[in-house]
Structure 1
């Protein structure tokens, strides 16, 4: 039995433990009520402004003729008569470097595709364009195009490979590295199985040329999706037409905008409508009437609402509705229109790619392809090569008016207003550099029109600036 002494000692120990525990609770409570010193540290970061990269534009070079024995995708090609006159400049006085691209597919050509470069020119506007007029026994017409940037992806909505139609895909690589290109081709019959369309090597600073007939024979309405890996290319399509035994025109078509629900094609020139309607009854001239080419890349068909806005004030808009099947290309004729320049707006319930074609038969026969182009705001630059009656064609898809100032390199500035949801055209001069400032984003193109001559090209936005980037170093 425990003694009174041991019991007493045990009681003392228990009491002491309770007192210590109580003191600890008081200390913790007091500490919680006292502000603790705080230490904070933000995520380390560095604001870096990239060194401005070179700005380069590629001019695709002279028109090419396919040899009569050209039955494959890479036949012998030769440049044809006429000079591809180039106009290139920068209004800020920045020195532009020019150089030629190698042309292994056309080694005997006396003219070469060109590239123009502004070295380390962040924010400097540069532009270029070219044109070539032919008056040969079997080839006549005017072909104009913008000198444009090379990209990793583009769409060509143009061309044909039916009887009398020659179409050539031109891939220009202005970079210092080789690039591999694949062409995915769609027609009115759907996807084309073309083994030679993949793994196309385009060496650095060179141009590769392929005839479309070797890849997609007897195609009425081709659309080509161009993708490049390891580098970038400028893809263009050259087309020439012979109707029966008569020359039917030439043109160079640049890339159009990629799949989207809404597109704007500025400055489509609708002319010679009565004469074309009479000639179109002949099968060889069935592609003379103006038309809208549409490809639906998705799995579902598209319902399109197409609005044509005349550049003539007071003329009401014309609207048409079309249904396009998925996976195939369709050419839709435009409704009956008076001769004029038109801005075309395409609204679709499915993403589509679009382009337009028009012709002239007065004093000769020629045709032109038109591309969908993005709206450009602020300030941009363009040049005009040689061609008849050049005209800047503007489309305003905004609800408010756009104030435009067009400043030539020589001469007085031109001011104009493009009303909201309308189109306008401004006569300009050939072989001239223009700086444009606008209060609203506008889609823009340059068009030429003369006796037996028609051509146009869209104006692309300037290169983005080398904006500062916040870099977070890894731990």
Structure 2
């Protein structure tokens, strides 16, 4: 190749390279310039936030304590063993209207009490009711107290037994205006489930003997699921040992399985080293998955930990139990922490002979803001408070009818007990999450129930216009 030809080739190659570089730069500049130079068009849909109007608050009470089969010729016949004293109250301008829930199959044309309260503006009425009763008979004896509760679509009963000496009845109330289709799913200590169904007519309370689905089962748990209308589930329990009555109870249902919660108002009275006859014990079920559960007792007066925690491993769908009979006499809370959602309730008794009484305590839900709770008449009622938050708080307790309010300071995780007056309705106000339960204790008398938050107003809904 000649020197002139080489020069042309080099020059041509240089022009090509330079052209490629210029072209690449132009393309890159165009790509960068497009989003920077072109205008953007944005459209924000018009929207409005609306708070739905709250509906009526419906409260259903357990009603009279029922005796099953007192007439030997009618073993399935229910009769009234004791009628309750009911206390009700409303805060502010709210008011409660009485309703009656018919009880088919019960002698003397009985009805369970209930209440209805219209909302105040867009907020549910701040109302509460509770009942208590004392049974004194050859076949039934003891004291029972329970709160009147709104219905729900799902609930759990953790308590009772289907063994000899136990006479336990599920109470299923439908305070609404349409029928409720109810499905019962029974769990036991051996695993497996049994299901049954029931239609509960509107404005009625139906009864189902617990033994119907849990015959021979010493530790049943029952899931109650409703469609068509929500129902209020409760359990009426009684126990006989060697022909002597040793207590009665009316137990509220649990809303749902949880991983972390607390059982408040648990009273240790007498000790027992026998797991089959524990004086204080916790029944547990993990319905859907194997779980490891840790239970830590706390002193009710200040929330301090008592002893070492106990750990139990649960098989999914199989009921378990933990014995706390070694606790010294006193009032306690038991914190429950699990690796999977569980349901639990605490059993407590004053003894094992004639003249004794027992009670079940279910988890106390968290409360923030203001709620109302009723204290039924009974022996030495106390409010057991627990701070469920990691910051200090002050709780206000005040009678709705007027009178001196009480302020209770709680450190993070701390607890307190407050003496209450029976047959009185109170408001409880806290800026942070707390738990509370009402507990009764006397000679041969034991009862209690958790304080539930007032029905929350319907959450605001944001509506967008396309």
User: What residue in structure 2 maps to residue 421 of structure 1?
Assistant: 413
Superposed, 1:226-265 pairs within 5 Å as 226-265=224-263
1 CA distance for matches of 2:73 and 2:452? 35
8 Å contact 2:259–2:342 — kept in the other structure?
Answer: yes
Deviation at 1:191, TM superposition (A): 2.5
Change over 3 Å in CA distance of 1:46–1:398 after alignment to 2: closer
C-alpha distance in 2 between matches for 1:219 and 1:75: 20
Name 1:115's counterpart in structure 2: 114
CA contact (8 A) 2:55 2:124 kept: no
Judge conservation of contact 2:303–2:416 (CA < 8 Å) in 1. no
Q: Displacement of 1:90 after TM fit?
A: 0.6
Structure-to-structure mapping, 1:5-24, within 5 angstroms: none
Q: 5 Å matches for 1:383-394?
A: 383-394=374-385
Instruction: Determine if the alignment matches structure 1 residue 404 to structure 2 residue 414.
Output: no
What does residue 11 of structure 2 align with?
A: none
* Alignment deviations for residues 148-182 of structure 1 (CA, whole Å, 9 cap, x no partner): 11000001101111110111111000000101000
Contact 1:129–1:146 (8 Å) recurs in 2: yes
Q: Distance in 1 between matches of 2:88 and 2:294?
A: 38
CA contact (8 A) 2:267 2:332 kept: yes
Specify which of 339, 344, 347 is matched with residue 354 of structure 1: 344
Local SS of the residue matching 2:211? helix
Cα contact 1:58–1:149 (8 A) shared by 2: yes
The aligned residue for residue 12 of structure 1 is none
Q: Distance in 2 between matches of 1:71 and 1:417?
A: 58
Change in CA separation of 1:352 and 1:431 when aligned onto 2, cut-off 3 Å: same
Match of 1:202 in 2: 200
CA deviation profile, 1:408-430 (whole Å, cap 9, x unmatched) = 23421112222222322111100
CA positional deviation for 1:456: 0.3
- Asked if the contact 1:263/1:345 (under 8 Å) is kept, the reply is yes
TM-score (ref. length: structure 2): 0.85
CA contact (8 A) 2:283 2:320 kept: yes
Counterpart in the other structure of 2:90:
90
- Say whether 1:378 aligns with 2:378: no
Name the counterpart of 1:52: 54
Q: Distance in 2 between matches of 1:91 and 1:260?
A: 31
Counterpart in the other structure of 1:176: 177
> RMSD over aligned Cα, in angstroms?
2.7
Distance 1:178 1:407, change over 3 A: same
> 2:127 maps to what in 1?
126
Question: Aligned partners of 2:374 and 2:80: how far apart in 1?
Answer: 24
Partners of 1:48 and 1:324 lie apart in 2 by 44
Do the aligned residues in 1 keep the contact of 2:142 with 2:248 (CA within 8 Å)?
A: yes
2:285 is equivalent to residue 295 of structure 1: yes
Matches within 5 A, 1:284-363: 286-300=276-290, 302-313=291-302, 316-318=305-307, 319-334=309-324, 336-361=326-351
**Within 2, Cα distance between the matches of 1:465 and 1:313?**
33
Post-superposition offset of 1:287: 3.3
C-alpha displacement at 1:231, in angstroms? 0.6
- Tell me the equivalent position of 2:17: none
Structure 1 residue 155 corresponds to structure 2 residue 125: no
With normalisation by structure 1, the TM-score equals 0.84
Conserved 8 A contact 1:190-1:328: yes
Cα distance in structure 2, aligned partners of 1:148 and 1:416: 26
Give 1:450 shift.
Answer: 0.5
> For residues 273-330 of structure 1, what are the alpha-carbon distances to aligned partners after superposition, in whole Å with 9 as ceiling and x for unaligned?
3xxx3xx76x9xx435110101111242x22211100124496422212222222111
- Residue 107 of structure 1: how far off its partner (Å): 4.8
Q: Which deviations, in whole Å up to 9, do the C-alpha atoms of 1:251-286 show, x marking residues without a partner?
A: 01111242221121111111133xxx3xx76x9xx4
Query: Where in structure 2 are there 5+ consecutive unaligned residues?
Result: 1-33
SS at match of 2:168: strand
Deviation, 1:71, is: 12
Question: Could you tell me which residue of structure 2 aligns to residue 105 of structure 1?
Answer: 105
Q: Distance in 2 between matches of 1:314 and 1:40?
A: 55
- CA distance, structure 2, for counterparts of residue 314 and residue 266 of structure 1: 11
Aligned to 2:448: 456
SS for the counterpart of 2:452 is: coil
8 Å contact 1:342–1:423 — kept in the other structure?
Answer: no
Partner SS for 1:215 = helix
1:191 and 1:69 map into 2 onto residues whose CA distance is: 34
Which stretches in structure 1 are left out of the alignment for 5+ residues? Answer: 1-31
Closer, same or farther: CA 71–397 of 1 in aligned 2, 3 Å: farther
Q: Give, in angstroms, the shift of residue 37 of structure 1.
A: 10
Cα distance, 1:335 vs structure 2: 5.6
